[in-house]
């Protein structure tokens, strides 16, 4: 104010300036109000769109392809069907999983399943650690001969720090792992003779699948291993192109293994192959966080159902196998130890390939179980 007295005319200019400022403020306020209005309109339109079309549905596929090897009533297929059922139920039919068994999406070549999943040829899969181990070498850990003495040992691996590391390894290779299920402890069968000692395996042609670890195990035991997909195994056993193979007992029961000359079985439970529910990375990212949660929880729940089917089914399967006249051999502790000793070098060689730290962690987890 003092200034205005000292400089005549200044007050007038100040007044003018103040009026101009007010005008501009009024205009910009009006502009602001207008743009708020426009924004609100847009928001309303967007909300209307959201209400009209279920969230994210526009990005979703009508159907997601889920790959497995074994269909229901194998425990593997039971887990897969349960997953599809729960996801459908919990998303009110917004997400549909369709199961393709026999790894038909990769022409039956089960060791290519993970690659196809990573590439998006397959949207989702419930895969055996055996079949994915050629691409994710850490998964060979479950194929380390005689590492896991019982189910509790399997559980401390899948549910503990080893499982976490394995899931990280799967993710680093391009698929999102969600949960575990189980194929089961694997027993060896053949058409020729009872197997009680490593020497009994000498010269037997045994069908195996997965990574070269299996070639190494059976070679160390003096057998003649041959790598073959499941689709080719049954015909090869029928024609006696191969003498034997190894799989869980639920598989024998359902696949009627006695009809393909497998009249000798040794219960050595040398490995167990858990199954992993996993989703292609791009497909996973297309789901809303809520739907990701539903997919994961449904996989965990379906995994439990699958594991129960495998573990409960094993004893039942044994009874049926015996009824079919298959000679079932139980090993004494010493007899089993002879197989452990004969495969120890293979174990040590593969511990380095898989990662000595991871194998050590697994051994410690099992020790503490
Ligand atoms: O092929 C097999 O032996 C099977 C069905 O057990 C697997 O996919 C690993």
Residue with the smallest CA separation from ligand 1 atom 2 is 230
Long-range Cβ contact pairs of 293-297 (< 8 A, separation 24 or more):
294/87, 294/90, 294/91, 294/95, 295/87, 295/95, 295/178, 296/178, 296/179, 297/90
- 14 vs 86, more confident: 86
- Cβ proximity of 163 and 169 under 8 Å: no
Residue 6 confidence (pLDDT)? 36
pLDDT at 9 over 60: no
354 closest CA partner among 169, 175, 219: 169
Q: What's the pTM value of the predicted model, to 2 decimals? A: 0.85
200: in domain: no
Residue 99 belongs to a domain: yes
Instruction: Calculate mean pLDDT across residues 310-338.
Output: 97
Residue 78 lies in a domain: yes
289-297's contacts with Cβ under 8 Å and 24+ in sequence apart are 291/56, 291/91, 291/94, 291/95, 294/87, 294/90, 294/91, 294/95, 295/87, 295/95, 295/178, 296/178, 296/179, 297/90
CATH number of residue 93's parent domain: 3.40.190.170
Counted domains in the chain: 1
- The protein residue with its alpha carbon nearest to ligand 1, atom 6, reads 247
Asked whether residue 303 is domain-assigned, the answer is yes
Average pLDDT score, the chain: 90
Q: Ligand 1: which of 69, 206, 252 to mutate, judged by most atoms within 8 Å of the beta carbon?
A: 69
66 within some domain: yes
Would residue 71 count as lying in a domain?
A: yes
Does 338 map to a domain?
no
| Nearest atom (ligand 1) to Cα of 273 | 9
Q: What is the per-residue pLDDT for 212?
A: 96
Distance between CA 84 and CA 79 in Å, rounded?
9
Which residue owns the Cα nearest ligand 1 atom 1? 230
- C-beta of residue 313 within 8 angstroms of C-beta of residue 76: no
Examine the pLDDT at 20 and tell me if it is beyond 80.
no
Q: What is the pLDDT of residues 260-275, one digit of tens each?
A: 999 999 999 999 999 9
Decide: 266 in ligand 1 pocket, CB within 6 A.
no
Provide the residue range defining the domain that includes 139: 60-184+273-323
Q: Report the distance separating Cα 256 and Cα 69, nearest Å.
A: 17
Alpha carbons 365 and 83: distance in angstroms, whole number:
29
**Residue 54: inside a domain:** no
C-beta of 226 in contact with ligand 1 (< 6 A): no
Spell out the residues 6+ positions from residue 28 whose beta carbon is closer than 8 angstroms to its own.
none
Q: Collapse the DSSP code of 255 into the 3-class scheme (helix H, G, I; strand E, B; otherwise coil) and give the result.
A: helix
Q: How far is CA 366 from CA 83, 143, 150, 162, in A?
A: 29, 15, 9, 10
């Amino acid at each position: 104010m003092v200034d205005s007295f000292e400089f005549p005319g200044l007050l007038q200019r100040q007044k003018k300036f103040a009026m101009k400022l007010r005008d501009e403020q009024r205009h910009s306020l009006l502009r602001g109000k207008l743009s708020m209005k426009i924004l609100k309109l847009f928001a309303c339109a967007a909300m209307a769109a959201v209400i009209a079309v279920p969230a994210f549905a526009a990005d979703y596929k009508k159907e997601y392809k889920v790959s497995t090897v074994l269909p229901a009533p194998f425990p593997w297929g039971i887990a897969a069907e349960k997953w599809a059922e729960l996801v459908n139920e919990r998303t009110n039919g917004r997400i549909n999983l369709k199961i393709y068994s026999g790894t038909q999406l990769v022409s039956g070549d089960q060791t290519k399943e993970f690659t196809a999943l990573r590439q998006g040829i397959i949207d989702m899969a419930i895969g055996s650690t055996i079949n994915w181990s050629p691409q994710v070498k850490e998964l060979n850990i479950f194929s380390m001969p005689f590492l896991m003495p019982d189910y509790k040992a399997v559980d401390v691996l899948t549910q503990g720090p080893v499982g976490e590391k394995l899931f990280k390894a799967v993710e680093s290779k391009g698929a999102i792992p969600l949960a575990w299920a189980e194929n089961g402890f694997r027993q060896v069968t053949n058409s020729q003779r009872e197997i009680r000692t490593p020497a009994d395996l000498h010269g037997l042609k045994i069908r195996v699948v997965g990574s070269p670890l299996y070639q190494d195990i059976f070679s160390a035991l003096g057998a003649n291993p041959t790598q073959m997909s499941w689709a080719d195994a049954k015909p090869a056993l029928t024609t006696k192109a191969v003498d034997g193979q190894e799989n869980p007992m639920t598989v024998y029961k359902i696949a009627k293994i006695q009809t393909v000359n497998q009249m000798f079985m040794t219960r050595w439970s040398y490995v167990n192959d858990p199954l992993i529910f996993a989703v292609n990375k791009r497909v996973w990212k297309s789901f809303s966080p809520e739907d990701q949660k539903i997919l994961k929880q449904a996989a965990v729940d379906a995994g439990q159902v699958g594991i129960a089917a495998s573990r409960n089914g094993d004893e039942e399967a044994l009874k049926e196998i015996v009824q079919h006249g298959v000679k079932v051999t139980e090993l004494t502790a010493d007899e089993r130890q002879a197989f452990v000793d004969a495969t120890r070098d293979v174990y040590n060689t593969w511990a380095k390939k898989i990662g000595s730290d991871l194998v050590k962690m697994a051994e410690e987890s099992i020790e503490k179980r």
